[in-house]
Chains A and B, each alone.
Chain A
Amino acid sequence: MWNIVGASVVGTSHSATGAPCQDFCAHRHVLIDGKSVVILALADGAGSAAHSDEGAAAAVEATLDALAILVADGEELGESAAFYVLDLAQARVRALADERSLSPRQFACTLLFAVISNDANMFVQVGDGAWAVKSHGRYHPATWPNRGEFANETYFITSPNWRTGFQFYSHPLSVDAVAGFTDGIQAVALRYADNAVHEPFIDPLVKVVAASGDSPSLQRPLVAFLSTESLNERTDDDKTLLIAARRKVHLLEWPTLTKAEMP
């Protein structure tokens, strides 16, 4: 049983100029033959593209649709499955651009998605942001922010060179929790010096999600957290954080009977 919560919050530089939030995230929790499978996706629309907020939303929705079908059909999770999903996400964005007679570049976005079931998982990314995986109590960066040569350049699923920015990872052990985030969060969530996940940031948040008995109610607190001053001081970009954690099982506490009470 998984708890999942995610939110995208507009950055202060965007709210100053009236630009919309160009990040988007969504998830599905599906049951296949009685086993739960978690499907997660997030995207960051390019600041320089006029309709990238719509591009990000379309790419995420198409990704979830494609992954749900893939999982329902029992397809193996692997690189070819990842390319199939990306192909559909790109096609959806292109179709959106065609409908409006605009260039797909106007809908440019990064894309991150993940599938986690009991016996398999995959983490896929084109562009920056990252996936952090918690397995057996330890954190691993499943992917890493993918940049071009310059700090303000990345790869978008709509770019001709998107394959250069493609990352695929499958964790060999069972996964307890995952966190996916866009570039607005990466400088506080990752440690660049040794390419590690900054556990003191991620883990307390993951624990909140794991301990919750009612994860949908965490949505609003997550939005409030992502809007706090202490985060805004460190980034003025849009911020997305999507966390999925196995729910901690609270064993019911039965009253213990003293010997005298026993029948």
Chain B
Amino acid sequence: MEQNPFINSGTDIASTYAENAEPRCPSLLLLDVSGSMQGEPLKELQAGLEIYRDSLLADSLAKKRVEVAVMTFGGRVDLLQTFATADAFTTPQLAIAGDTPMGQAVVEGLDYLEQHKQVLKTNGVGYYRPWVFLITDGGPTDKHSSFWTQAVQRVKDGAMKKSFSFFAVGVEGADMECLAELSSARAPVALKGLEFRKLFEWLSASQQAVSRSATTDEVPLTSPAGWAQV
């Protein structure tokens, strides 16, 4: 074999790369677990979450870069899973409870996201634009509280400043008008039947593409036609 002075120079390609922190792609799930999700919808949503975790885990880059947090709203707002990459992520068991404080969930979720971005910044970890994914089959029961107006404003600001990508998904029975008010920059999408599995497959595939993108790339999203009514 031909002698290559560069290859044979003893250069160390591995060690600093191993130490340099992987840039993160935060993914915040805001999930409706109010009474109406009881039964089949909740079961399918839970199955979708498992698929999401498994498919992130199956991708060598995504499992190190995509970090998922789960916040639920049903009677109250709960942070069930703090931001964790797929290998450290245990799928939380979703439990049904009460009404739909959607506005409060959005506000608290975005607060938590901001706080997490600060942690990443402090530690010198780069990050991709975060994803916020809201799934509901109802409408906000806190529509007449300050939570809702604040939620609408903050999602709007976030879209304008491009500080995160917000997606609202309505399951059958969802108040699509309220979702449209909340997600004014990107129109909300209606879920086809209970295709949560396809939705999470799409989410995982899209985030795999983003987490693989070089620093000079912008990643176009693939069509959500497999799970969304278009």
Contact = CB atoms under 8 A, between A and B. Distances in A.
Interface of A: 11, 13, 44-48, 110, 127-128, 145, 147, 149-154, 156, 183-184, 187-193, 198, 200-202, 204-205, 207-208, 212, 218, 221-222, 224-225, 228, 230-231, 234, 236-238
Given A48-B218, A193-B124, A224 B10 contact: no
A193 B6 CA distance: 26
Closest 6 CB pairs of A and B: A47-B217, A151-B23, A225-B6, A200-B12, A204-B9, A48-B218
Interface of B: 4-7, 9-17, 19-21, 23-24, 124, 126-129, 163, 210, 212-219
The secondary-structure label for the interface of chain A is: mixed
Nearest to A225: B6
Contacts of B16: 187-191, 198, 200-201
B6 A205 contact: yes
Contact of B215 (A183, A188, A189, A224): A183
B215 A153 contact: yes
Contacts of B219: 152
Contacts of B210: 152
Given A193-B124, A234-B17, A152 B217 contact: yes
B6 A128 contact: no
A204 B10 contact: yes
B214 A47 contact: yes
Nearest to B9: A204
Interface centre among A11, A201, A234 (most CB of B within 10 A): A201
B10 to A, nearest CB: 5
20 contacts: A48-B216, A128-B215, A145-B215, A150-B126, A150-B127, A152-B217, A152-B218, A153-B129, A183-B216, A184-B214, A188-B13, A191-B20, A192-B124, A193-B20, A200-B12, A205-B6, A207-B9, A208-B9, A225-B6, A228-B7
A30 B129 CA distance: 44
Contact of A230 (B10, B13, B20, B212): B13
B108 to A, nearest CB: 22
Given A192-B20, A208-B6, A221-B6, A147 B14 contact: no
A187 B7 CA distance: 18
Nearest to B60: A233
A187 B20 contact: yes
B7 A154 contact: no
Contacts of A153: 129, 215
Nearest to B210: A152
Contacts of B9: 204-205, 207-208
B214 A149 contact: no
A191 B19 contact: yes
B125 to A, nearest CB: 9
Contacts of A202: 11
Given A152-B128, A152-B213, 6 more contacts: A128-B215, A151-B23, A184-B214, A198-B16, A200-B12, A208-B9
A147 B163 CA distance: 15
Contacts of A127: 216
